[in-house]
Amino acid sequence: QVQLVESGGGVVQPGKSLGLSCAASGFSFSAYSMHWVRLAPGKGLEWVALISFDGTNEHYADSVEGRFTISRDNSKNTLYLQMSSLTIEDTAVYYCAKGTGRNSWAFDGWGQGSLVTVSS
Amino acid sequence: DIVMTQTPLSLSVTPGQPASISCNSSQSLLHSDGRTYLFWYLQKPGQPPQPLIYQISNRFSGVPDRFSGSGSGTDFTLKISRVESDDVGIYYCMQSKQLPTFGQGTKVEIK
């Protein structure tokens, strides 16, 4: 049974940085791509970033390119999202999501989410 | 970017009645590998999204058979044959032929 547990959310001032983690269990973490997807207040789902099963390929949404960095540690079954130069528009619940395959751009499992609030 | 457009944006359905949501993509989702990368997800109130349908019409494990998907190219449909109270939430279509993009979401309520 896929289990994904996000942590690291909180309140942060505009322009500052924050890091999220996602602890994975119940599946072979190193065999799947992983994603971050967010849900901003009053808006729809927005894909944020993905990383391939081995960490060699990363892709980002235009809205976060150059500010966010996705990474993974397969020895720890953990996914990360480092966010910098945060703006109010980054306020959202951030979900960690399991890809459907090694380099898949779709997902089939989600964590409960971690709330990031950017506010002065 | 591929733009995904859903209609309607909200739907109120009597339990036991059918419901249908349409999704249109700004370009064909048919990949050179022969697969069409169109997915459906449901976000129930207070929960993370859950997967419903992959590659147009295939149900993810555990999804009831009252959910079905159809379509091709740029036009797709999710149908619920008999809506139940547990089906309330926001339904999203998503493409992954290119970097993923979602539709705006369709809010389904029970009358």
By Cβ distance, the residue of B43, B48, B94 closest to A111 is: B48
Residue of A45, A65, A96 to mutate for B, most B C-beta atoms under 10 A: A45
By Cβ distance, the residue of A47, A61, A106 closest to B54 is: A106
**Cα-based distances in Å from A86 to A14, A42, A75, B63:** 5, 19, 29, 37
For residues B92 and B23, give the distance between their C-alpha atoms in angstroms, rounded to a whole number.
Answer: 9
Task: State yes or no: pLDDT of A104 exceeds 90.
Answer: no
pLDDT at B84: 97
Q: Tokens representing B16?
A: 């036991």
Q: Using DSSP, state whether A23 is helix, strand or coil.
A: strand
Contact A44 B96 (CB under 8 A): no
A42-88 pLDDT, tens digit per residue, is: 999 999 999 999 999 999 999 999 999 999 999 999 999 999 999 99
Residue of B99, B101, B106 to mutate for A, most A C-beta atoms under 10 A: B99
B17-53 pLDDT, tens digit per residue, is: 999 999 999 999 999 999 999 999 999 999 999 999 9
For residues A105 and B37, give the distance between their C-alpha atoms in angstroms, rounded to a whole number.
Answer: 9
Radius of gyration of chain B (CA): 13
* B60-87 mean pLDDT: 97
Band the pLDDT of A7: cuts 50, 70, 90.
Answer: very high
Band the pLDDT of A103: cuts 50, 70, 90.
Answer: confident
Least confident stretch, A72-76, A99-103, A111-115, B70-74: A99-103
Residues of B in contact with A96 (CB under 8 A): none
Task: State yes or no: pLDDT of B56 exceeds 90.
Answer: yes
Contact yes or no for A68/A116 (Cβ under 8 A): no
Q: Bridge partners of B33?
A: none
Residue A6's contacts (CB-CB under 8 Å, 6 or more residues apart) are A20, A21, A22, A94, A95, A96, A111, A112, A113, A114
Contact B103 A44 (CB under 8 A): yes
Contact B94 A109 (CB under 8 A): no
